[in-house]
Structure 1
């Protein structure tokens, strides 16, 4: 069968082989520790589950508007006002089947063939593939490790062409956990205003910040930047609701209207009971969300120094999310492996520890470690990693 050129252009995820091998080893009875989790290891809070269950008992099991329940869109508007000092109206909001779907819908809506999208590296693995599927061209700008993996304005300016349509900013970042400051965002934002570049701000890790770090949305910095920005967020990470698949986009009415039209012919509405759960997430609070954040903060404080003690590892302390992104170039160079991806495969086969190689994030000298697991498991994994490194 001949497949579409767009599907054929998708680069297979570098994590697939590791994931498949880890699963195979587990099925064979091996004690594999996985540090690749991209989701909190806490259950969804009970008050959210109960609200969703109640909605079904009350008969809310039918279609909703493609852009989402009006009550949920209002709750999202209230969230923006309370958390970000941003004023949106419900017709500036579309609810999607997860933030990943929101991003994909944006690219499908705004891109024509060969439009360029600036992606700052390290990046979340799906950004470039979603751009390619929509017919666009990813243009990469390196976030320097010595600058907390963040790209500077002059680097971005050098990548702009007459085909540049948009830029993606992910703060806090997956995979680095780093955040852009107000001044850094202003520099990037002013460039985008000057060049008429649409800003896509992925803020899904907004609530997971540590050591007093504060989230700044580029959309809140001026009225002009708000108009230039599409903010993507959701409840997946903040409320441990990854499987519920509720994300959303806030922005200009004309873009949101087109995205809703696209949804009406593709997905229709997100699951209605999940929408009711999201309403509860934004209108109720039993303290469990903050307790989860504190647990991640405690884990980070306990594991960061230990990671830096591994020979050949250097790791900056992140400000948010639940990942560490150590540079392992020295450890790899001293080993019998030719690159980080092969080193990661060897780590899994010999030490039974699964981590994510950094090449899938555009940073081949690094690996991603998720501390969305128990401290005991994480520390045992580091014991195994140290033994693996010492044998090389």
Structure 2
């Protein structure tokens, strides 16, 4: 997994610097091409010669020690890295990273890179727990930096607690998992390459008068998560969005609609060119028979509102389906499997995703979902409470497999 990977190892000035030699050795043994940058304080604990001998590459300590005229060293290292890991990372380098300081070779390279960064802190337990250090680490995590938490035990200062650099063997395992996940994500990016995917999301709005309407609690989070996942898998994504409460990601074509009829017309415009359609929108089953052009005035203690059925978009698509792959959704409050299977057959879906909206964390507006995925033979997969992004990813992987089987 690490063979040929270019890893920049940053070593800072703490007693745990001696472990950097072991970490470097284990990475090299795994086939990694390791380039070491040491701070001046780190050289007080372990020599450049040691790290150069183990890595089989020059060791960098001085920003101005330019050895190759054709490149600027800190930019060259920042660009070549598949991963930068700082181990051990002192409170000082963590603070520099958090605040964008660049006053030595390591901090300058870190500021210049676009590669993933891992940080393995090592320091006194009270330093590690200091609010300033904790705040700096949280800032880095929010920017996408991965933290390898220190272990607990006897520290060099004599204290017992959290702050000891994680063991090199464990750090190597973390790095291997990172590259494994990265390759898996890379492979997934091609699963829907070139496919035209249409996703409906959000709730529809059925007007009663200019200030009142009928709608539902759908936030659009599930549908937008599916649109984003499809985009990340290489698809050309067209999102047809009703009333939503979520920001729509970039790289997705969007058509905003209001009523069920609007959504039907928007879907039918792109249906013939669609490879996969996911109907995750919560479409109103009924609309007011008569829409009033002016605000209805209050009169009497009761008012009767006459409703008529809206067009069933999913059923219409199922009846017109040729080579398209069709996924429907069913939000239920009881007898989930019974109603889901019935809906799947009646509406000629290839897959149907059902959830019990009364379950905590699985209803409208939540960031998580718990679903059952059915096909014509029954349950395909049950996904327990997961982030909606992960539910979307797994659903689309199933759809991509089924579509590949049909086309092969």
TM-score range, shorter chain: under 0.3
Q: Which has the higher contact order (CA 8 A, sep 6+)?
A: 1
Q: Who wins on radius of gyration, i.e. which is larger?
A: 2
TM-score normalised over the length of structure 1: 0.28
Name the structure with the higher helix share.
1
